[in-house]
Chain A
Amino acid sequence: MSRLRKFVDDIKPHFEKGGKFEKLHSTFEAFETFLFVPDQVTTQGSHIRDAIDMKRTMSLVVIALIPTLLFGMWNVGYQHYLATGQMGAGVTTLQLFWEGFKLVFPIIVVSYVTGLAIEFAFAQIRGHEVNEGFLVSGMLIPLVLPVDVPLWMVAVATAFAVIIGKEVFGGTGMNILNPALLARAFLFFAYPAYMSGNQVWTHGLMSGQGIVDGFSGATPLSLAAEGQVEQMPEASEMFFGLIPGSIGETSTLAVLVGAFILLFTGVGSWRIMLSTVIGALFMGGLLNLFAVNEFMAIPAWKHLIMGGFAFGAVFMATDPVSASQTRKGKYIYGFLIGLLAILIRVVNPAYPEGVMLAILLMNVFAPLIDHYVVESNIKKRQKRASLQAA
Chain B
Amino acid sequence: MENLVDIFVKSIFVDNMIFAYFLGMCSYLAVSKTVKTSTGLGLAVVFVLGITVPINYLIHNYILKEGALTWISPAYADVDLTFLSFILFIAVIASMVQLVEMVIEKFSPTLYSNLGIFLPLIAVNCSILGGSLFMQERAYNSLAEATVFGLGSGVGWFLAIIGIAAIREKIRYSNVPAPLRGLGITFIITGLMGIAFMGFMGIKF
Contacts and interface: CB of A to CB of B under 8 A. Distances in A.
Interface string B175-205: 1110010000100110111011111111111
Contacts of B123: none
A348 interface: yes
A169 B203 contact: no
Interface residues of B, number: 31
A370 B163 CA distance: 11
Tell me what chain A mostly uses at the interface: helix, strand, loop, or mixed.
helix
B132 to A, nearest CB: 28
A168 B180 contact: yes
Interface in A243-295: none
A182 to B, nearest CB: 7
A340 B162 CA distance: 20
Contacts of A371: 35, 166, 169
Contacts of A189: 195, 198
Interface in A352-380: 354, 356-358, 360-361, 363-365, 367-368, 370-371
B167 interface: yes
Contacts of A347: 203-205
Contacts of A354: 199
B171 interface: yes
B174 interface: yes
Contacts of B199: 340, 344, 348, 351, 354, 356-358, 360-361
Interface residues of A, number: 35
B170 interface: yes
B170 A351 contact: no
A186 interface: yes
Given A368-B35, A371-B35, A185 B166 contact: no
A361 B196 CA distance: 5
Contacts of A364: 163, 167, 192-193, 196-197
Interface in A151-172: 164-165, 168-171
Nearest to B205: A347
A361 B167 CA distance: 13
A94 interface: no
A235 interface: no
A176 B203 CA distance: 25
Given A126-B177, A164-B192, A357-B196, A367 B169 contact: yes
B159 to A, nearest CB: 8
A185 B203 CA distance: 17
Interface of B: 35, 162-163, 165-167, 169-171, 174-177, 180, 185, 188-189, 191-193, 195-205
5 contacts: A168-B180, A344-B203, A348-B204, A368-B162, A371-B169
Given A168-B188, A371-B166, 5 more contacts: A168-B176, A174-B174, A176-B171, A348-B203, A364-B196
